Amino acid sequence: MKRVQGIGVSGGIAIGPLVLLNQGGTGVRKETVEDVTAEFMRLDTARKETIRELDEIYRRSLKLVGDENSSIFQIHSMMLEDEDFLAEIREKIENERVNAEYAVWETGKLFSERFAQMDDSYMQARKTDVIDISSRLIRVLERKSEESPAPFAAPSVVCAEDLMPSDTIQMDTARVLAFVTREGSMTSHAAILARTLQIPSVAGLGSGFSELTDGVTAVVDGFSGEIFLEPDEALLAEYRVKRDACARERESLRSMAGQKAVTRSGRSIELNANIGHPGDVDGALENGADGIGLFRSEFLYMEGTSFPTEEQQLQAYKTVLEKMGNKRVIIRTLDLGADKQIPYWNLPKEANPALGCRAIRICLKHEKIFRTQLRALLRASIFGNLSVMFPMIISIDEVRAAKKIVEQVKTELRVQGLAYSEHVPFGIMVETPAAALVSDSLAKEVDFFSIGTNDLTQYTLAADRMNSSIAELYDPRHPAVLWLIEMTVRSAKQAGIEVGICGESAADTGLTAFYLKIGVDELSVAPSRIPEMKKAIRELDL
Ligand code: PEP
Ligand code: MG
């Protein structure tokens, strides 16, 4: 038995076989083949199998993120029927007498370059699709016949160097017992997603990751960050008991969902959910959320292979608003950057992306994208109780610039006769020390504050939230961070606007009393954390 230590980023216990995802991608070998017909047949069988798999992914994705965001898998499927693409692969196999894998890879690269050179931006964006679909086809070709068709045929612990939110969305999460990654940390977005999905997760394994072997049984402790490889019977028995206790605890907490978040001394607080997809709303409601405190809208942009259109966004926002009825829904405008990238938008590489052109900065520089989102948001506003907030604000100028665009968009909609609500509150995220320090002035410009402790901690302590090697320095309870929070809350109170917290430390029950005492009005946490938060709040006597 071996023990490997990482960072527990999503609580829970899992016991099962490890599956190591091959994320290498392009290591395609060139081989000479004698039997060209046999190679054609291999290609055709793999092609049909890939289409079948894509179909399955499409159906899974439909359930998770809805129609608009899933159509990409149908497009991929159609590409595998494209006669030009297939003819070119076959020609390569025949003329150069090479293996199908190599022919697919070379043809994929060629088509991708052709797409990149086209004038139409939609067609340009298809270049990543060709590479994606070629890699998928190669993976199927490389699979030996006795191997299972998907790495998750049986429930498994999924191990990867790193996981992007877009990787996770493509998995059949019902078969994922746990996530384990070499990289990542508590506030990386894959970890946030794991908590939303209630999947135990250990990140930041570092060199310990090389100890993991495909197929080996492991115990994953998402609380302590420990992983036990080939556990002995005694340890297995101990962890089975823990796992079952955990499931029972979760079940018993469910009864808290219907309760109000009110302390024993009678102080109540709005307890909201953080979501990334319209599909997460059900979990938020089941766990008893008072509303949505943070809808990370950028996930809509990360799942497809081109920008979501105004209509697609409108549908997504409308779905969330309608499902939430008259409960408040705070949607954050596009917050791209750092670990949230979109493959179809080739933004210049930056030396320090977390300090670079991200979030509101991107939106103000690329106004067309921002306007499309604002149009969709405003049009959706008639379907529920919408609030909108801007991320990564550092100055009043940014707020004024964003609000000016909002006003222009409203005028545009009015002229076009498109309905929207005039009463949408606009707020900002306070997640930079600069915003906290000038929060008294900012409070006069906006309708509410939502404190993003994930970034506030990172920028205050100069500690990269993604860097597992300095995880011990990244401390949301550091007095400097708490001081900035208190300062922000005071500014909000003086200006008479609402203030909430939507970073991960909103769910830190060790800080709940502090937040309540300084006057925080709202906490927004992963849906799965709501019942335990309610329990903790109801036991508090301020
Ligand atoms: C935050 O920074 O605290 C936050 C909620 O935003 P994100 O984690 O998406 O950066
Ligand atoms: Mg943030």
CA angle 289, 292, 297 (to 5 degrees): 145
Task: Tell me the CATH number at 41.
Answer: 1.10.274.10
Nearest atom (ligand 1) to Cα of 431: 2
- SS3 for 130-141 is HHHHHHHHHHHH
Evaluate whether 3 touches 226 at the Cβ level (below 8 Å): yes
CA distances from 473 to 185, 192, 457, 459, 466 (A): 12, 19, 10, 12, 12
To test ligand 1's pocket by mutation, which of 280, 298, 455, 505 has the most ligand atoms within 8 angstroms of CB? 455
332 among the known binding-site residues?
yes
Residue 210 lies in a domain: yes
To test ligand 1's pocket by mutation, which of 188, 292, 296 has the most ligand atoms within 8 angstroms of CB? 296
Evaluate whether 380 touches 484 at the Cβ level (below 8 Å): no
Residue 247 lies in a domain: no
Residue with the smallest CA separation from ligand 1 atom 7 is 454
Query: Coil, helix or strand for 233?
Result: helix
398 among the known binding-site residues?
no
Evaluate whether 43 touches 101 at the Cβ level (below 8 Å): no
Alpha helices in 117-174 (DSSP H): 121-142, 165-169
406 and 433: one domain? yes
Residue 146 lies in a domain: no
Residue 249 lies in a domain: no
Contacts 24+ apart (CB under 8 A), 396-401: 396/438, 396/441, 396/442, 396/445, 398/360, 398/361, 398/364, 399/428, 399/442, 399/445, 399/446, 400/445, 401/364
54 and 182: one domain? no
By CB atoms closer than 10 A (0-12, 13-18, 19+), residue 303 is: buried
Residue with the smallest CA separation from ligand 1 atom 8 is 454
Q: How confident is the model at residue 183 (pLDDT cuts 50, 70, 90)?
A: confident
Domain stop point among 141, 170, 203: 141
Residue with the smallest CA separation from ligand 1 atom 6 is 452
Chain segment 114-141, per-residue pLDDT in tens = 888 887 767 766 777 787 788 888 878 8
391 and 524: one domain? yes
Query: Coil, helix or strand for 355?
Result: helix
**Distance in Å, CA 434 to ligand 1 centroid:** 16
Quote the distance between the C-alpha of residue 97 and its chain's center: 43
225 and 285: one domain? no
Residue with the smallest CA separation from ligand 1 atom 4 is 452
Q: Is the pLDDT assigned to residue 146 strictly greater than 60?
A: no
Instruction: Give me the sign of the Cα torsion angle 147, 151, 154, 160.
Output: positive
> For the stretch 445-463, what's the b/e string if a residue is b when 16 or more beta carbons lie within 10 angstroms of its beta carbon?
bbbbbbbbbbbbbbbbbeb
* Active-site residue, selected from the candidate residues 159, 189, 246, 277: 189
- φ, ψ dihedrals at 178, nearest 5°: -165, 160
Length of the chain: 542
Nearest atom (ligand 1) to Cα of 187: 8
Q: How confident is the model at residue 338 (pLDDT cuts 50, 70, 90)?
A: confident
Name the pairing type of β-strands 328-332 and 292-296: parallel
Rounded mean pLDDT of the chain? 90
Chain segment 386-436, per-residue pLDDT in tens = 999 999 999 999 999 999 999 999 999 999 999 999 999 999 999 999 999
To test ligand 1's pocket by mutation, which of 431, 451, 458 has the most ligand atoms within 8 angstroms of CB? 431
384 and 417: one domain? yes
Residue 324 lies in a domain: yes
Domain stop point among 141, 174, 202: 141
pLDDT at 184: 84
pLDDT at 69: 61
Task: Kindly give, in sequence order, each residue whose CB lies less than 8 Å from that of residue 65, ignoring residues fewer than 6 positions away.
Answer: 169, 277, 278, 279, 303
Cα–Cα nearest to 42, from 82, 118, 100: 100
Ligand nearest, relative to CA of residue 457: 1
How many angstroms separate the CA atoms of 421 and 223, rounded? 44
193 and 284: one domain? no
Cα–Cα nearest to 540, from 523, 435, 453, 526: 523
Residue with the smallest CA separation from ligand 1 atom 9 is 296
Evaluate whether 184 touches 80 at the Cβ level (below 8 Å): no
480 and 337: one domain? yes
**Distance in Å, CA 451 to ligand 2 centroid:** 9
Nearest atom (ligand 1) to Cα of 503: 3
Return the percentage of the chain with pLDDT > 90, whole number: 67
502 is catalytic: yes
Q: What is the CA radius of gyration of the chain?
A: 25
Chain segment 488-519, per-residue pLDDT in tens = 999 999 999 999 999 999 999 999 999 999 99
Residue 260 lies in a domain: no
* Order of strands, sheet of 201-203, starting from the edge strand that comes earlier in the sequence: 2-5, 226-229, 217-221, 13-20, 156-160, 176-181, 201-203, 7-10
**Distance in Å, CA 196 to ligand 1 centroid:** 14
Nearest atom (ligand 1) to Cα of 274: 5
Nearest atom (ligand 1) to Cα of 298: 9
How many angstroms separate the CA atoms of 45 and 329, rounded? 47
Pocket of ligand 1 (CB under 6 A): 187, 294, 296, 335, 431, 452-455, 502-503
Ligand nearest, relative to CA of residue 523: 1
pLDDT at 349: 83
318 and 282: one domain? yes
Region 439-446: what's the mean pLDDT? 98
421 and 522: one domain? yes
How many angstroms separate the CA atoms of 180 and 6, rounded? 9
**Distance in Å, CA 417 to ligand 2 centroid:** 35
Name the pairing type of β-strands 176-181 and 292-296: unpaired
12 and 54: one domain? no
Count of the separate structural domains present in the chain: 3
Domain of 453 in residue numbering reads as 269-538
- Ligand 2 (single-atom ion) residues, CB below 5 Å: 431, 452, 455
More confident residue, 335 or 253: 335
**Both tokens assigned to 427:** 């707020």
Ligand nearest, relative to CA of residue 453: 1
Evaluate whether 186 touches 7 at the Cβ level (below 8 Å): yes
289 and 421: one domain? yes
Residue 176 lies in a domain: yes
Poorest-confidence range of 162-166, 186-190, 432-436? 162-166
191 and 118: one domain? no
pLDDT at 195: 85
Residue 251 lies in a domain: no
* Active-site residue, selected from the candidate residues 159, 246, 363, 502: 502
296 among the known binding-site residues?
yes
Give me the amino acid identity at 269: I
Query: Coil, helix or strand for 171?
Result: coil
Ligand nearest, relative to CA of residue 338: 1
Task: Tell me the CATH number at 202.
Answer: 3.50.30.10
Instruction: Give me the sign of the Cα torsion angle 275, 280, 282, 286.
Output: negative
More confident residue, 118 or 296: 296
Domain stop point among 238, 253, 280: 238
Task: Tell me the CATH number at 521.
Answer: 3.20.20.60
pLDDT at 147: 46
Evaluate whether 371 touches 312 at the Cβ level (below 8 Å): no
146 among the known binding-site residues?
no
pLDDT at 27: 59
